[in-house]
Every structure is written in C-alpha cells, then in structure tokens.
C-alpha cells in the first residue's frame, strides 16, 4: 500500500525553480534514502510534504488523503481540518532537533499527545516512558534539552515525533548537526525503527548508511530526481553520469 | 535639619507613597497589555497599520515623558472646549474639572509612553525565538494558540525579563515626573518640604524612598530570573 505518493511536484522560490517534476512513491514499511548535493532541493521536498512550504503544482497524497492537487494549473489544498489530519500522520525530525528548551525531556514528548491528541496524562507518560527506554534515555526523563548531548537531543526529538504514532517519519539530515562520534547512536535508532517496519524517508549524507538501511535510494540534483532505485542499482550499477560524479566525490572525501 | 525634622519629613513623604505607587502600579497594569497589543500590531506590514504604529512608537520614545505629560494634561481641555465639534463631542466624556482628571491625564501619558517601550521589548523577544520552534510545534499538530501560549510565550518571558526589569525600575523613578503638573506624590511633597526647611535633606529622603523601592524590585527580578534559570 502506498503511504505517500508524490507526482509531478514543482516548487519555485520567486523566479528560482527548486523542485521540478518530482515523482515517487513510498510503500508501507519502506525506508527511502534521499541523497544529493547541497542545494538540490532535498529539504524543500520534505518541507512541501510536511506543509512547511506550499507546492506550486503537482500532487501529494498521504495515506490516501490528498494534500495537494493541481486544478487548472494551480495547486489546490484541502481545508484546515484535513491538513491537520494529514500533518498528524506524518512525523518530522529536524537537523537541529528544535526541542522546546523550557520543557523537560518528558514534557517535550507528552506535550503534543496531551494537547493535540487529548490523551490522558497516564497514557501519554506511559507511551513516553516506553519510547525513552527504546531510545536508551530512561534516566534523562527529567533533564532539560540543554543538559543533553546533541545525540541525546536528537533521540528525544525522534521520541517526540514517534509519540504521535505517525504513519511515516521524515528525517532531514538527522546526523548533520552532530559530532561524528555521535552519529552512530542516531543511525542505530533509525536501523531499529527500520527493523520494526516503520515507514521512513531519510535525507542523509551518510552514504554507507543509506546503502545499508534503505530499500530505495533517490538521488536528487538541481531540483529533479536524477535516479532512483534499490541501493544496489543506485550505488552498484549507477546509470547517470551526475550520480556517478556525486558518489565519486563522496568516496574521495 | 534636626533628627526630629527628618522624622517629620519622612512621615509626611510616607503619606504620599500611595499616590506614587498608584501611578507605578496602574501604569504597569495597563501598559503591559497595551504593549503586547502594540507589539502584535507592529508585526503587521499593511501600511495603514504599520505607519501609525511606527509613528506612535517614534514619538513616545523620541520625546521626553515630561513633555508628554504636560501635553496630555493641557491638550485635552483645550481640544474639548474650543475646537472642532467632532473632537469636542469625542472628548465630552472627559470631565476636565473633576477631581480625578489630573490623575487620569497623568495615567494616560504614562501608559502611552511605557506601552511603547514594552512593545519594543516584546517585539524583540518574540522575534528572537527561532523559526524552528514554530515549525516543530506545527509539525506536531499544535494550533497557533497552543504554539504561542505553550511554546513561544514562556521563552519570550525569560528573554525579556532583564530588559523589562530595567523598564520597571526606570518607571519607579519616572513617577517623580508627575510633580510637573503638581500631582501630589513623594517628589512634589519633598520639594515643598525643601522650601519649608530651606534644606536639601527632604529631597535626599525622597531619594531613599525610590532607592528602597528599587532595591525591593531588583531582588524580586533577580529571584524571577533565577527561577527561569533552569534552562539554556
Ligand atoms: N526560504 C527560501 N527562500 C528562497 N530560496 C530558498 C529557500 N529555501 C531554500 N531555498 C533555495 O532552494 C534551493 C534548495 O534548497 P534546499 O534547502 O531544499 O536544498 P538541500 O538539498 O536541502 O541542501 P542541503 O544539503 O544543503 O541541506 C537552494 O538553492 C536554496 O537556496
Ligand atoms: Mg537541506
């Protein structure tokens, strides 16, 4: 079952086209890695799907709910209620975590379940406690974000997103703001989520990780999808010269 | 001046502590919410809102409060008596001969002035919150109201506390400007006593009053800042 369908998506900032004719699907339980050089539009793609940017044209469907359609050449969005419903099916993990600094780890995680899903406190705390255990952060429940390492903060932000039980989880370079020795702990968490068949779309510069954990890899450059396929296809049997150049640069670094 | 005189003057000034505190308290009570409203208006780009609000802040911050007090105090009676019928009608509810007119005029001037300063502090505070906080709250499905009151406002309060403390402490001292329209508060009385005793001492005693008030406020604000020190 397709959890996410993007077809012919386009987006420009002013005169500057950033996404052009982007099409792909994500099936339930799939892990998609999005790779590509800086400025190729990876973040913008994620932000369009997460309603942080509005698309100019094309279609996005999330769990059978149309997020955007194009009618007479104009992008059309549904009503506020539907947009919110769609938003709750999607979790987003930011590069810079964006935890709420004035709230403890526990409060960060239970805030949305309490106020958005109107869960009881017991239920929200129980879910959060379980998530913290999974993230190996049980003893940090009462800590504040500023007291945590970058890796720990990122794990809290993953737990915060998971607490709403999203159907799909998006990551925008979840390890890029971390010291190299801390990236491992985040990759481990994502690996475990993949084992549990969590549907995920991960923008990453960790090529080895993308190759290992992804079911499919999407290579973007200049606002278009240049190549997509299994890791074996994209990394092992590269079709496009642009992809090859990009991967070569990565290997030489 | 003898010690007895000092005690007498202190006793007299103490009686006028309440009027001073009344200006102080009511100015805070009204100027903080008004400042919030102005801060929100200030974020609107539409020129019909942006220009007048910008002009208001410019004037309030660019001219002396003393001038503003005098202007409000004398301008309202003039406008409500011998100008356009429209203004006369508009201001007819202000009874300039009533006992409370002096204080009301004073309060209007103080509130308008302090709201402008608070608005700028609030605006700076709101703008200092990173966009990522809004985006995180949005992607968690929080409404605009929830985002503002649960996520943004608590962080703004922490950030604006030092600047607000400055404003509040300045306000304590600025209450003395009320004496310019002969409103009977501590400073006015101290000047009268100065003449009576031909001595500067009453002014210094008034100075001690302001100093003590501000010492208390400083302690309170430090405590508040410490309380919000648990993060960042
Ligand atoms: N808010 C914006 N306004 C104008 N231009 C923007 C905006 N956001 C992004 N862009 C432009 O869109 C293009 C794509 O940016 P995007 O952030 O999506 O790239 P990216 O693939 O995520 O890059 P990186 O790997 O550096 O994160 C860039 O040229 C960028 O300058
Ligand atoms: Mg990016």
Write the ipTM.
0.94
Please give the pLDDT value at position B111: 97
Between positions 207 and 236 of A, the ones with CB within 8 A of B are: none
| pLDDT of B215 above 90 | yes
- Whether B92 contacts B100, CB under 8 Å: no
pTM of the model: 0.88
pLDDT number for residue B79: 75
The count of residues in chain A is 253
Q: Atom 27, ligand 1: which residue's CA is nearest? A: A38
Q: Using the predicted structure, report yes or no on whether residue B98 has a pLDDT greater than 80.
A: no
In a domain, B15, yes or no: yes
- Pocket flag, ligand 1, residue A41 (CB < 6 Å): yes
Tell me whether strands A168-172 and A16-27 are parallel, antiparallel or unpaired: unpaired
| pLDDT above 70 as % of chain A | 99
Report all structural domains of chain A as residue ranges with CATH numbers, in order of start.
2-252 (3.40.50.300)
* Domain assignment present for B118: yes
Asked if residue B131 belongs to a domain, the reply is: yes
From chain A, pick out residues whose CB is under 8 angstroms from the CB of B229: none
Which residues in chain A have Cβ-Cβ distances shorter than 8 Å to B138? 51-52, 87
Q: Residue B132: which of A91, A94, A161 has the nearest Cβ?
A: A94
Q: Which of residues 34-73 of B touch A (CB under 8 A)?
A: none
By the CB < 8 Å criterion, does B141 face chain A? yes
Q: How far apart are CA B120 and CA B124, in angstroms?
A: 6
- How far is the alpha carbon of B141 from chain A, nearest alpha carbon, in Å? 6
pLDDT digits (tens, 9 = 90+) for B35-91: 999 999 998 989 999 999 999 999 999 999 999 999 999 887 777 776 677 766 666
User: What is the Å distance from ligand 2's center to A48 Cα?
Assistant: 12
> Distance between CA atoms of B165 and B163, rounded to whole angstroms?
5
Our count of domains for chain B comes to 1
- pLDDT number for residue A1: 79
Q: CATH number for the domain including B84?
A: 1.10.3720.10
Concatenate the DSSP letters of all residues of chain B into one string: --HHHHHHHHHHHHHTHHHHHHHHHHHHHHHHHHHHHHHHHHT---HHHHHHHHHHHHHHHHS-HHHHHHHHHHHHHHHHHSS-HHHHHHTTT--TTSTTHHHHHHHHHHHHHHHHHHHHHHHHHHHTS-HHHHHHHHHTT--HHHIIIIIIHHHHHHHHHHHHHHHHHHHHHHGGGGGGGT--SHHHHHHHHHHHHTSSHHHHHHHHHHHHHHHHHHHHHHHHHHHGGG--
Domain containing residue B123:
3-227
> Is the CB of B136 less than 8 angstroms away from the CB of A99?
yes
Query: What average pLDDT does range A9-32 have in this prediction?
Result: 96
Q: Are B94 and B76 in contact, with CB atoms under 8 Å apart?
A: yes
Distance CA B216, CA B207 (A): 14
Q: Whose CA is nearest to atom 7 of ligand 1?
A: A13
- Write down the mean pLDDT value for chain B: 92
- Tell which wins on pLDDT, A199 or B230: A199
| Residue (of A200, A222, A225, A197) closest to A210 by Cα position | A200
CA B107 – CA A60 distance, rounded (Å): 57
Please tell me the distance between residue A43's alpha carbon and the centre of ligand 1 in angstroms.
7
Q: How confident is the model at residue A253 (pLDDT cuts 50, 70, 90)?
A: low
| Ligand at shortest distance from the CA of A36 | 1
Of the candidates B139, B151, B231, which has its C-beta nearest A144's C-beta? B231
3-state helix, strand, coil in chain A (%, to 5): 40, 30, 30
Rounded Cα–Cα distance for residues B10 and B23 (Å): 20
By the CB criterion, residues less than 5 angstroms from ion ligand 2 are A 43
Helices (H), A30-179: 42-49, 80-88, 105-115, 121-134, 150-162
Give the tens place of pLDDT for each residue, B99-152.
Answer: 788 999 999 999 999 999 999 999 999 999 999 999 999 999 999 999 999 999
Cα separation, B33 vs B119, whole angstroms: 9
Q: Cβ(A58) to ligand 1 under 6 A? A: no
Please tell me which residue of chain B has the smallest CA distance to A82: B141
Residue among A13, A38, A48, A220 whose CB has most ligand 1 atoms within 8 A, to mutate: A13
**Residue B187 pLDDT class (50, 70, 90 cuts):** very high
Nearest C-alpha neighbor of B126 from the set B159, B95, B102? B159
Judged by CB atoms closer than 8 Å, whether chains meet at A116 and B142 is answered as yes
Identify which has the larger pLDDT, B100 or A67.
A67
Q: Which ligand is nearest to the CA of A44?
A: 1
Q: Is B56 inside any structural domain?
A: yes
Q: Do A94 and B151 touch (CB under 8 A)?
A: no
Structure confidence at residue B101 (pLDDT): 87
Within-domain flag for B232 = no
CA distance B157 to chain A (A): 11
B135 with A144: Cβ contact below 8 A: no
């Amino acid at each position: 079952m397709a959890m996410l369908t993007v077809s012919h998506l386009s987006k420009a900032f002013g005169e500057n086209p950033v996404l052009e004719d982007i099409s792909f699907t994500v099936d339930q339980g799939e892990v998609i890695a999005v790779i590509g050089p800086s400025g190729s539009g990876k973040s913008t793609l994620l932000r369009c799907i997460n309603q942080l940017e509005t698309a100019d044209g094309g279609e996005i469907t999330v769990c059978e709910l149309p997020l955007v359609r194009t009618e007479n050449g104009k992008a059309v969005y549904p009503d506020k209620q539907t947009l919110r419903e769609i938003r709750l099916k999607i979790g987003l993990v930011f590069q810079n975590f964006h935890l709420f600094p004035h709230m403890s780890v526990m409060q960060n995680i239970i805030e949305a379940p309490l106020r958005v899903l109107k869960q009881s406190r017991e239920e929200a705390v129980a879910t959060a406690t379980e998530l913290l255990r999974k993230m190996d952060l049980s003893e940090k429940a009462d800590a504040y974000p500023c007291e945590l390492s970058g890796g720990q903060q990122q794990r809290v932000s993953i737990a915060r997103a998971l607490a709403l039980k999203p159907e799909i989880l998006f990551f925008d370079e979840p390890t890029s703001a971390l010291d190299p020795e801390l990236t491992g702990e985040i990759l481990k968490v994502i690996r475990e989520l993949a084992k549990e068949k969590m549907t995920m779309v991960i923008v990453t510069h960790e090529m080895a990780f993308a190759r290992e954990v992804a079911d499919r890899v999407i290579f973007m450059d200049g606002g278009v999808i240049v190549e997509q396929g299994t890791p074996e296809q994209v990394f092992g049997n590269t079709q496009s010269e642009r992809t090859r150049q990009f991967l070569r640069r990565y290997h030489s670094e | 001046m003898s010690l007895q005189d000092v005690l007498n003057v202190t006793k007299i000034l103490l009686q006028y502590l309440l009027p001073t505190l009344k200006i102080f308290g009511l100015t805070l009570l009204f100027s903080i919410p008004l400042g919030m409203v102005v801060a929100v208006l200030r974020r609107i780009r539409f020129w019909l809102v942006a220009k007048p609000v910008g002009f208001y802040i410019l004037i309030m911050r660019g001219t002396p409060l003393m001038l503003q007090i005098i202007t409000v105090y004398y301008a309202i009676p003039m406008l409500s008596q011998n100008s356009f019928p429209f203004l006369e009608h508009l201001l007819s509810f202000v009874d300039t001969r009533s006992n409370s007119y002096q204080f009301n005029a004073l309060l209007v001037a103080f509130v308008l002035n302090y709201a402008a300063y608070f608005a700028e502090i609030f605006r700076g505070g709101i703008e200092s919150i990173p966009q990522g906080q809004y985006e995180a709250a949005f992607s968690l499905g929080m409404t605009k109201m929830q985002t503002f009151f649960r996520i943004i406002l608590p962080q703004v309060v922490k950030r604006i506390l030092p600047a607000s403390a400055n404003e509040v402490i300045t306000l304590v001292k600025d209450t003395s400007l009320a004496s310019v329209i002969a409103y009977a508060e501590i400073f006015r009385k101290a000047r009268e006593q100065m003449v009576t005793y031909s001595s500067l001492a009453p002014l210094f005693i008034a100075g001690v009053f302001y100093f003590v008030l501000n010492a208390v406020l400083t302690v309170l604000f430090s405590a508040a800042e410490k309380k919000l020190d648990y993060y960042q």
